[in-house]
């Protein structure tokens, strides 16, 4: 795992927003938390997936059911978690696994709703993961990170900011492999 970018631990809650490219993503974010972030680990997961993988509840997982009234509860629960400076919550804003080499990540609307209600001292860590083998027999995970204070993003949507970050990370990844 190669991490490109800086994270400065603050006395504030943290929302981690990452692309979702594989089954392993959550474990990569957990590793990032254990080695760099060091906060209480929570993550939002689709209800049907959490039913299948119930053991994730013991690792900080909680459910969201898209296109239902329960989404309001999940967003409320997320905001409550983000009121505590010792907590981090990570979400996959596109809500499903997609290729790491897509040009753009389309966000579901819940991310902006969380940010509307989140505390003003919230930090956001953007993450973009890419896996490449290059000339090795085992893959390397390249993790790009960029930290923001949520209050500094009021003029732009987090989706727009993530799009610029992701485009830059993808370009840097392409340069590494060429």
Q: Report the CATH number at residue 20.
A: 3.40.1130.10
Q: What is the pLDDT of residues 145-177, one digit of tens each?
A: 999 998 888 778 899 999 999 999 999 998 887
**Per-residue pLDDT, 173:** 92
**Checking DSSP bridges between strand 87-91 and strand 40-46, what pairing results, if any?**
parallel
Q: How far is CA 48 from the centre of its chain?
A: 20
- 53-58: long-range contacts, CB 8 A cutoff, minimum separation 24: 56/26
**Per-residue pLDDT, 152:** 85
Length of the chain (residues): 178
Domain assignment of residue 164, given as a range: 2-177
The residues, ordered by sequence, that sit 6+ positions from 131 with a Cβ below 8 Å of its Cβ are 21, 22, 100, 139, 140, 141, 142
Q: What is the pLDDT of residues 84-99, one digit of tens each?
A: 999 999 999 988 888 8
Q: What is the pLDDT of residues 100-111, one digit of tens each?
A: 777 788 888 888
Q: What is the pLDDT of residues 77-86, one digit of tens each?
A: 999 999 999 9
**SS percent in the chain: helix, strand, coil, step 5:** 40, 25, 35
**What value does the mean pLDDT of the chain take?**
91
Q: List the strands of the sheet with 87-91, edge to edge.
A: 2-4, 140-149, 123-132, 14-18, 87-91, 40-46, 61-64
Q: What is the pLDDT of residues 14-34, one digit of tens each?
A: 999 999 999 899 999 999 999
Residue 35 has pLDDT above 90, yes or no: yes
Strands (E), the chain: 2-4, 14-18, 40-46, 61-64, 87-91, 123-132, 140-149
Quote the number of domains for the chain. Answer: 1
């Amino acid at each position: 795992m190669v991490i490109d970018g800086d994270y400065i631990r603050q006395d504030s809650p943290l929302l981690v927003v990452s692309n979702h490219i594989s089954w392993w993503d959550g474990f990569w974010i957990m590793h990032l938390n254990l080695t760099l972030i060091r906060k209480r680990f929570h993550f939002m997961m689709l209800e049907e997936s959490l039913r299948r993988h119930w053991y994730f509840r013991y690792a900080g997982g909680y459910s969201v059911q898209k296109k239902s009234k329960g989404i309001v509860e999940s967003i409320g629960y997320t905001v409550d978690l983000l009121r505590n400076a010792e907590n981090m919550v990570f979400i996959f804003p596109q809500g499903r696994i997609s290729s790491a080499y897509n040009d753009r990540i389309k966000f579901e609307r819940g991310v902006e709703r969380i940010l509307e209600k989140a505390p003003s001292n919230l930090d956001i860590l953007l993450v973009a993961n890419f896996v490449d083998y290059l000339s090795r027999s085992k893959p390397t995970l390249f993790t790009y990170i960029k930290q923001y204070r949520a209050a500094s993003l009021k003029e732009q949507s987090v989706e727009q900011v993530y799009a610029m970050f992701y485009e830059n990370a993808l370009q840097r990844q392409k340069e590494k492999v060429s």
